[in-house]
Amino acid sequence: MSHVFISYARSTEEQAIQVEKALRDTGYGVWRDAELPAHRTYADVIEERLKSANAVVVLWSAEAARSQWVRAEADAARELGTLIQASVDGTVPPMPFNQIQCADLKGWKGGDGAGWQKLSASVAALAGGSTNQSDRAKAKRQTNSVCVLPFANMSGDAEQEYFSDGISEDITTDLSKISALAVTARNTAFQFKGQSVDVSDVAKKLGVSHVLEGSVRKAGNRVRITAQLIDGATGDHVWADRYDRDLTDIFEIQDEISKAIVEALKVKLLPEEKKALEQRGTTSADAYNFYLMAHNYWVTGNWGDVRQTELVERICRRAVEVDPEYARAWGLLAIAESILHYIYGREGEDGLAAAERALELNANIAEAYVVKARHLYERDRVEEAKQATERAIQLDPESWAVNREAARIFYFQRDFEAAARCYEKAISIVETDYHSWGMLTSIYMALGDKERWLAAARMAVSHAERVLAHNPTNGAALAMGATGLAILGEHDRFREWVDRALLVDPDNAIMQYNFACAMALHLKDYEGALDLIARRLEKITPALFRGILTDPDLDGMRQLPRFQAMIKAAQDHHGMPTLAGETTPPAAS
């Protein structure tokens, strides 16, 4: 019998037993640590079983992500090429495993759900099939898997990159709606962006049967899209086509590409899947173009720079002016308005009306739910805020914007486990998200995970340096990179980055606050931190004030008389709220 090794944390043994039973019922030989012999050392048996396994199924959970044993077993399997991943509680695999596909078994109680189909197909591919004929046939139907490489921008204008990237992401999303097709995650595919790659090598590395590649040339109101589906094993073209159309035909082109792939792979669509493929949210190519532009600025922008958020807001407003029924654009507009109101203190729209409009048009717009969650949280309706946040993640777990906003809400509720999952997911979607790396340094320290704390610091510095090479005035990159330098003990460089940032972006309050957190937490320079916080308190908003009251980075100086006096003065002068009826800041934890 084919041999499958199951790795898991003790708190999820019940789920491990379910997976074991399902695999045994299918005909596989399965081993997990319940079968450890009494006369041999644990490490020797584990190493032996790992090396002999055809497939290693790692069941990730919050506890497993912290377990050195599980991570070591996953790393060994990755090196051997036998790793199969599944998440049993929604936890995103830790670095570097978050770059590899992961089946979703959250809530799985047995049966033939999409997550189990994905896992069992991978087991069949690595372990050579089971002894059960019906399950072999089922596994064969699931062997179709596709990686959509980022389409090349052939427009001759780097500013058009957002459009080709948007096309690639939408085709990936379309194909992901098909249950009989396994699709590589966006971030995994985008690691090949701008590279000259051998498609067969990509297919082998990612374990997919087919690769879709193409190019986009957009000029005025015309667009040319080429696409080709390639057999990963042979390198042969399974299907190829070129589309020269008006920009107004962009949705028809995407539909034709998705349907052509389905036909070429002989995949059968369920009725609801066919309907989902045909839903675009707008019939206006202009509104779609504006939305892609705004989304790109949001994902790649300078977090903490109010001008970036205002730009996203303006472009989204243009999109909904062109098509007032474009729910996705209303959802992104809601996030921009929410941040401008709660973070930057702008009067007027707080994003709630835009969120309600988005949900009126489409009840499944995840971005609208995180804005509602922010609105509820600011009114101390914490449990309702948590429910809205969880609904957003459930609706679109692959949304960078949703995971980022959800992470912020969890962070300031001091639910660090949940915040870590969301920030880790955001990074798995957009790996260069230096701000999330910086936030994870604070979270991992609060969780007492030194290994991941240092790793996140290194990644924050690395990605910040890449951004600063192209934009030396990016205040957010300077702040998060400097935080990483402080953690890594490079205090002279930290001071240099702080001085430089305060010169090039002196009005960036969020940047200054992040510097204050780093000074307090890593340099124990409480006076320097308080000097920077004092600047922020001059123009503090209730939302930012809540952050100061709950941020774990500031716990070490909450009992300092100057800190308490500053907080009290801000409360008296601005009428700021306290938390849970308290009249003094919380003590250090």
pLDDT value at residue 41: 60
User: What b/e readout covers 141-169, taking b as 16+ CB neighbours within 10 angstroms?
Assistant: ebebbbbbbbbbbbbeeeebbbbbbbbbb
Cα–Cα dist 389/377, whole Å: 10
Domain 3-141 in CATH 3.40.50.10140? The answer is yes
pLDDT value at residue 304: 64
Please identify which residue in the block is written with the tokens 């100061």: 548
Q: Where do the structural domains in the chain lie, given as residue ranges?
A: 3-141, 145-280, 281-430, 434-589
Same fold? 3-141, 434-589: no
User: pLDDT 10s per residue in the chain (589 long)?
Assistant: 457 899 998 888 888 888 888 888 777 888 887 665 555 566 667 877 888 888 899 999 988 888 878 888 888 888 788 899 999 988 888 877 876 778 889 888 877 777 888 888 888 878 765 444 444 434 433 468 899 999 999 988 887 888 999 899 889 888 887 877 888 877 778 878 888 888 888 888 777 889 999 999 988 889 999 999 999 888 889 999 999 999 888 888 888 898 888 888 887 777 777 777 767 789 898 999 999 999 888 877 656 678 889 999 999 999 999 999 999 999 999 999 999 998 888 888 999 999 999 999 999 999 999 999 999 988 889 889 889 998 998 888 878 888 988 898 888 888 898 899 899 888 877 777 888 898 999 999 989 988 889 988 998 999 889 888 888 888 888 888 999 999 999 999 999 999 998 898 887 777 888 899 999 989 999 999 999 888 777 767 777 787 788 888 898 999 999 999 988 888 877 666 554 434 333 333 3
Tokens read off for 327? 């729910």
pLDDT value at residue 131: 40
Contact between residue 309 and residue 300 where contact means Cβ atoms under 8 Å apart: no
CATH topology of domain 281-430: 1.25.40
Residue 519 DSSP label: I
Cα–Cα dist 393/369, whole Å: 9
Let me know if 504 is exposed, middle or buried by CB neighbors in 10 A (0-12, 13-18, 19+): middle
pLDDT value at residue 579: 47
- For every residue of 68-94, DSSP letters joined together read HHHHHHHHHHHHHT-EEEEESSSPPPP
* 415: number of Cβ within 10 Å: 16
CATH of domain 145-280: 3.40.50.10610
Tokens read off for 124? 């069949």
Instruction: Mention every residue, 6+ apart, whose C-beta is less than 8 A from residue 334.
Output: 351, 352, 354, 355, 358, 367, 368, 371
pLDDT value at residue 132: 46
pLDDT value at residue 586: 37
Q: Domain 434-589 has what CATH class? A: mainly alpha
pLDDT value at residue 65: 87
Please, what is the Cα angle at 384 between 380 and 385, to 5 degrees? 70
pLDDT value at residue 85: 92
Closest alpha carbon to 65 in 101, 93, 103, 102: 93
Closest alpha carbon to 13 in 41, 28, 33: 33
